Amino acid sequence: MGKKVMWEIFEKLRIERGVSAYEVAKACGFRAGVISSWKMGRYTPKADKLQKIADYFGVTVEYLMTGEVKDGYYINPETAKVAQELFENNELRVLFDAARDASPEDLRAVHAMLLALKRKEQGRNDEPC
């Protein structure tokens, strides 16, 4: 795939996560000029930089380059389904980074625990001052 497709995928991921190109570059350990040069078509990130970008977004380098996912991230299909549900919930998206081999039960337990903590916190916020 060409540089343009990779840039479009990068932009899609960046916008979905609400981060700037500068923030991505900083988090990945390289200067913002790398991203700028990539956008202008003067540079294609080398494999090590692509891996850092992919890791930052929680995707594979293959996805970053092509937009395609051949093999799912999670080994167990049921775990993949639960993880997708969590990922689509903006407040629980952090769980998307769960271990690849986590069981569906483990993900559900963590999900239930976070919901309970959230309810508890909301209860505190509802108390009179």
Helices 47-57/3-17 angle, 10° precision? 30
- For the stretch 116-126, pLDDT in tens is 887 887 776 55
pTM of the model: 0.53
11 pLDDT higher than 70: yes
CA distances from 84 to 73, 78, 102 (A): 11, 10, 13
Rounded-to-integer distance, Cα 63 and Cα 57, Å: 10
Give residue 100's pLDDT. 55
For residue range 80-121, what is the model confidence (pLDDT) as tens digits? 777 777 777 766 665 555 555 677 788 788 778 878 887 887
Q: Would you state the pLDDT for residue 127?
A: 47
Report how far residue 14's alpha carbon sits from residue 63's, in angstroms, rounded to the nearest whole number: 14
Q: What is the pLDDT of residue 63?
A: 82
Residue 121 CA to its chain's centroid (Å): 26
φ, ψ for residue 126 (rounded to 5)?
A: -85, -15
Report the C-alpha gap between 84 and 29 in whole angstroms: 28
Residue 35 CA to chain centroid, in angstroms?
Answer: 18
